[in-house]
Amino acid sequence: MSGQITISVDAMGGDNAPRAPIHGAKLLLRERPDVRFIFHGREEVIGPLLEEFSELKAVSDIRHSETVITMDDKPSQALRKGRGNSSMWAAIQSVKDGEAQVAISGGNTGALMAMATFCLRPIQGISRPAIAAIWPTLRSDIVVLDVGATIGADADLLVDFTILGSALARALFDTDTPSIGLLNVGVEEAKGNEWVKDAGKILSETHGAGFEYRGFVEGDDLGKGTVDVVVTEGFTGNIALKTAEGTARQVGTYLRNAMTSSIMSKIGALFARQALSAIKSKMDPRTVNGGVFLGLNGVVIKSHGGTDEIGYKSALGLAYDMARNDLIEKIGEGIRRFPRPDAPATISNPEAP
């Protein structure tokens, strides 16, 4: 996609809103001067923040929305409360109306998925949307999906997720045929649930669909970066995501404690500060912030609700890349390469985590 990229922002979503979204946008603008923003939310709090940054104000519009979806609102409640008049809904509606190429929110994940699904609707040929995470590994970043949109799956849904994940990998990584692995309890063909094995059979017989199926992968392959895309259902994927985040914090705490446990360790840390800084940066979850809602007629990004402006800038950068690299077109191409009967437009689990 050429030309200016417009990002529609739910400025009221998240623990540190609206300051984190606006400050994050300021940081992104320094790197991407061809971006503009539409901020949705309470004008009386967004306006003064934009006044602090004249360059950002010049490329931004404010759309007033009085209603704010809270983290405590259940998806069904959020739809009744904010459908049509909340900052979250308005941010998504701007994508549907063609005013923006991508929407982003740090708000309630279940509410955001429910609203995005109702507003944008699933792409024809995809039964349910998925949330994809960009996952740092020893090799490079990879795509993992689903990480919480849909609990449970069957073989056809895992194939849908494969199409979506491979399209995202083509949009993000320099590859035309990303490698795919199905997350399983072992790499042997006889292991796993029946629907995982059935999906493996379908994918192993697929050729020319824009990806290379490598078979089953295990949990430790997530950190190794064995494949470009790891496919699973939302229950397992969300547990894996939260486990990885917790482990990163645990290791970081161990490292800090070890480096300050004695005079000698502090001296050693002083000499190793460059290496330690690199490790800290690599393990910082803010640098890979942002989950991509895949399978809808429009791109929606979910930022971590508790992140600061650094993390929000990362999520906005991901949103920019998705729009710039024509993610929706790549998904359509993947569906065309993998001809299957049209799937019904089904609403994803409204109570997804």
Residues 66, 127: Cα–Cα separation, whole Å: 33
Question: Rounded CA gap, 40 and 260, in Å?
Answer: 45
Tokens 């392959």, residue? 221
Closest CA to 164 of 183, 145, 140, 177: 145
Listed as ranges, residues in the chain with pLDDT below 70 are 1-2, 276, 278-285, 339-353
Alpha helices in 146-189 (DSSP H): 155-172
How far is it, in rounded angstroms, from Cα 175 to Cα 139?
15
Rg (CA), the chain: 21
- pLDDT tens-place string over residues 187-203: 998 888 899 999 999 99
Over residues 88-145, the pLDDT tens digits come to: 999 999 999 999 999 999 999 999 999 999 999 999 888 889 999 998 888 889 999 9
Angle, to 10 degrees, between the axis of helix 155-172 and the axis of helix 194-204?
50
177 to 160, 168, 335: CA distances (angstroms): 16, 11, 14
State the pLDDT at residue 258. Answer: 82
The count of other CB atoms within 10 Å of the CB of residue 140 is 10
Q: Which domains, and CATH codes, for the chain?
A: 5-125+295-337 (3.40.50.10950), 130-285 (3.40.718.10)
Q: pLDDT value at position 282? A: 64
Q: For residues 148, 182, 285 and 173, what is the CA-based torsion angle, rounded to 10 degrees?
A: -120
The pTM of this model reads: 0.85
